[in-house]
Amino acid sequence: MPELPDVETYLACLRPRIVGRTLEKARILSPFLLRTFDPPIESAEGRPVAAVSRLGKRIVLELDPDLFLVIHLMIAGRFQWRDDPAAKPPGRITLATFAFPTGLLILTEAGTKKRASLHLLRGREALAAHHQPGLDLLTCGAAALAEALRRENHTLKRALTDPRLIDGVGNAYADEILHAAGLSPVRLTRALTDEEIARLHAAARRTLEHWRDTLIARFSKRFPGPGDITAFRPEFAAHGRFGQPCPACSAPIQRIIHAENETNYCPRCQTGGKVLADRSLSRLLNEDWPRTLEELEQGPASR
């Protein structure tokens, strides 16, 4: 799922292409995409784009006057851009197209599960109703983060990916933030000290700003294409790097798999040398499951 740095990258790429330009034609190709019926999608046509902004992980196209196209990409939704407004969009993955004088914005979604959504809203009050109360880690203070985390007692990984608490962060950047902070993904939020929350706050801002700025610079001259907006980047420290050496200490990155999500962490930098139990695999291996980094490195013969 595109997270805060990815969404900010899309915004930076969209603004010079569509702000101030008229949305000439909106075509909805998937019956599952549009979640509102009033106002009708045709009412968006012929209106100039006044602004492009972010609402959590959602992308908002503000149409003058007082209409808002709110797009949630979910897991597999992506944008493509063609400089030719009459360009042919790609096959069955296309959910919608938006034609401007400057080109064609294409909304796609790979896979069979169609989860991306589009809402057309009238007025800022309707737009505000779509805003979830999560904190923006780029603007909030450490005290506000502490209050949000201690409101309920969850693991840090769950808290960072809960949109009611934190705005715009998902599986990938939660792993990167926790690695940068040197904190275990299963540490409980109410057990955090003030120093640990301050460390988490600083690591979150540093990580998100770094990746936002890196990706915006990377796509300053071209629009992101298929595969460019991804949850797996070779430069990541932890996420998606199971078995590879930690860039800070060289210990092999470990993982916990739960449902469709994978948590990656460094057992030396984040858990004091402890290898966290994976619910399914640790049960299967039982006594052969390594409990510490030393057991992991020595192999089954040592257990």
**What tokens were used for 211?**
């990746």
**Collapsing DSSP states into helix, strand and coil, what is residue 204?**
helix
**Residue type for position 40:** P
> What pLDDT shows up at residue 25?
97
* Cα(174)–Cα(187) distance, integer angstroms: 13
Residue 8: which residues within 8 A CB-CB, separation 6 or more? Answer: 54, 212, 215, 216
> What pLDDT shows up at residue 114?
85
> What pLDDT shows up at residue 38?
94
Instruction: Cis check for the bond before 2: say yes or no (omega within 30 of 0).
Output: no
> What pLDDT shows up at residue 289?
39
Alpha-carbon separation of residue 174 from 145, 201, 207 (angstroms): 14, 12, 10
HSE (side-chain half, CA atoms, 13 Å) at 80: 22
Note the pTM of the prediction, 2 decimals: 0.90
HSE (side-chain half, CA atoms, 13 Å) at 81: 19
**Nearest to residue 103, comparing CAs of 14, 30, 40?**
14
Instruction: Cis check for the bond before 65: say yes or no (omega within 30 of 0).
Output: yes
Q: Show the 3-state SS of 217-284.
A: HHCCCCCCCCCCCCCCCCCCCCCCCCCCECCCCCCECEEEEECCEEEEECCCCCCCCECCCCHHHHHH
Which residue stretches of 110-183 are H helix?
124-128, 142-150, 156-160, 171-181
What phi, psi does 58 have (nearest 5°)? -90, 150
> What pLDDT shows up at residue 259?
67
Could you report how far apart the first and last alpha carbons of the chain are, in Å?
A: 39
Domains parsed from the chain with CATH numbers: 4-128 (3.20.190.10), 142-296 (1.10.8.50)
Please give the DSSP secondary-structure letter assigned to residue 79. E
Q: What is the mean pLDDT of each run of 10 residues along the chain (303 residues)?
A: 95 98 97 94 97 95 96 96 96 95 97 90 93 91 96 94 93 97 96 97 98 98 94 96 97 87 94 82 42 50 45
* Cα(204)–Cα(179) distance, integer angstroms: 10
Contact 261, 171 (CB under 8 A): yes
Q: What are the b/e assignments for 255-264, b being 16+ CB within 10 Å?
A: bbeeeeebbb
* Cα(245)–Cα(269) distance, integer angstroms: 12
> What pLDDT shows up at residue 130?
86
**What tokens were used for 9?**
């990258």
> What pLDDT shows up at residue 294?
55
> What pLDDT shows up at residue 282?
43
